Structure 1
C-alpha cells in the first residue's frame, strides 16, 4: 500500500510523482515519458523483470507477455516505496487482453494492490479517440504477432471502434522492438493509411514512435496516435494537468 502522505511537496515532483511500470527489456518508454514530462511532474521507473524473450511464434509471444503480466505486481511493490501519487503502465499488450472487460479487471487488480489509480495504454487510446472526435475506423501498427493484434481488435470492437487492417512486425525479441528503424515504420504507416480510416494507431511501447507519429499527422492529414504519447497525455489529464507540449502531435498540443 502507498506510504503515508508526504509532509512537504517533493522538490522536483511538486505537482505529481508518477510511478512508471515497464519491462526491464524496454529501452524506449522511459526516455519517451521523460521527453513528454512537464514541469513539476517526475517519472519513477520500476522495472518488471523479464528475460529478453525470443518471440518466434504466436505462442511464444503470448507466453512472454503473460510473464510480464505475472511480474507486474513485484514492480508495483518496488515503486510504492517512493510514495508516488499515480501509476502509469509502460507496457501495452497485456492491457488489451480479454477485451474491455478483461482490460478493466487487469487494471482493477493492480489498483487494488497499489491503492493508487493506474493509467493503461488501452484505455488511453479510447480517451484519445474521444479527444480527437469522430474516430470510428482505425488501422493498427504493432511489433506484435497476430494473436496479440487480435486482442487489440477485440478490445477496440468492445468500444465501438473497427480495426480495418493491421500490421504485425513480428519482432523476434523484446529488445529487437526498439531496433526497428524509423524508415521502416514510416513505410508501414504509408502502407496502412487509406481514405477508409479515421486514424492510425501504433501500439507496443518499445517502438520509438512519438516523434514520427507527430510528423505523420502533418503529412497524412489525420490523427496518428503513438501509444506512449497517448498514455502519458492521459496520465497528465487524469491528474488535472493540462500543460501543452509542442512537437509531439495534436494530443499534447491541442487537447
Structure 2
C-alpha cells in the first residue's frame, strides 16, 4: 500500500524540521510549503498570514506533490478568525487544493475529542491578547481552559530557538492539576522530539501544535497508525471523524 501524502502550509521558518522527523517515524510523505508574512504574533498580521490568497498560494506550491490532504500548519493564523472563520478558512483551502483540508486550530479540537479531553491547561508562547483568542476558540468547542499562561514571545522566529530544556520548563511550570491535558499551541516550537519526556514529566497527555497538525492530516486520509514516540495522541492510533 502506498504511503499517504499530506501537505502542510507552514508560515515562514521556525520548527518545520518537526515534519521530516515525523515522516521518518510514520512512514508517510509530509511535504512542507512555506508562505511568508510579517513574523509577528499580533492580530492584524495573523489575519493577513491566514488570508485566502496566501493559503491559495500555499496550495499551489504543494500541488506538484499531489497531496491526499492539506493542512494549514498555523494555530494563531487559524484561531484568530474565530471558530466559524476557521472552518470557512479550511473549506476555502480544500476548494483551492481540491483535497480535504484543515488547520492546526481545528486539529486541536479534533485531537481533544478523540482523547475525550474536556479540561485543559494552555502553555502559550504568544502574547496574552492572542492567547486569549485560543481560549475562546476552544470554549466554542466545549473545551474548558482551567489555566492559561502566556510567555509573551512576539515572533515565531524567537519561539523556534527555544531549546528542549526551555520547552520542558514551559510545560512543567504551566501545567494545572485539574487539566486532563496540557496544550502547547505554536507550530513555531520544536516539540516532537521531547513529547515522551513531557508526558512522563507531567503524567498526562500533552498536545502540541506540530503533533496535532500531522495527526489531523493523517486523519483526513484515514491513516491512524500508532507511533508511541509521538505522544499519547499517536500511541494508540486514535481517530476522530468530523469537527
| Bin for the TM-score computed over the shorter chain | 0.7 to 0.9
RMSD over aligned CA atoms reads 1.9
User: 1:48 aligns to what?
Assistant: 35
User: 1:90 aligns to what?
Assistant: 73
Q: Which runs of 5+ in 1 are unaligned?
A: 1-8
Report whether the alignment pairs 1:101 with 2:84: yes
Q: Which runs of 5+ in 2 are unaligned?
A: 239-243
- Of the candidates 135, 138, 148, which is equivalent to residue 153 of structure 1? 135
How many residue pairs align between the two structures? 233
The alignment partner of 1:65 has SS state of helix
Distance 1:107 1:249 in 2: 25
Distance 2:234 2:175 in 1: 22
CA deviations 1:182-204 (Å, max 9, x no partner) are 32322222222222211100001
Q: Which stretch of structure 1 is more off in the superposition, 160-169 or 60-69? A: 60-69
Asked if the contact 2:227/2:235 (under 8 Å) is kept, the reply is yes
Distance 1:85 1:216 in 2: 31
Distance 1:62 1:182 in 2: 28
User: 1:21 aligns to what?
Assistant: 9
TM-score for the superposition, normalised by structure 2? 0.87
Runs of 4+ in 1 over 6 A off after TM superposition: none
- Of the candidates 3, 6, 22, which is equivalent to residue 36 of structure 1? 22
TM-score for the superposition, normalised by structure 1? 0.84
Question: Which structure: larger Rg?
Answer: 1
Distance 1:128 1:151 in 2: 19
Asked if the contact 1:98/1:155 (under 8 Å) is kept, the reply is no
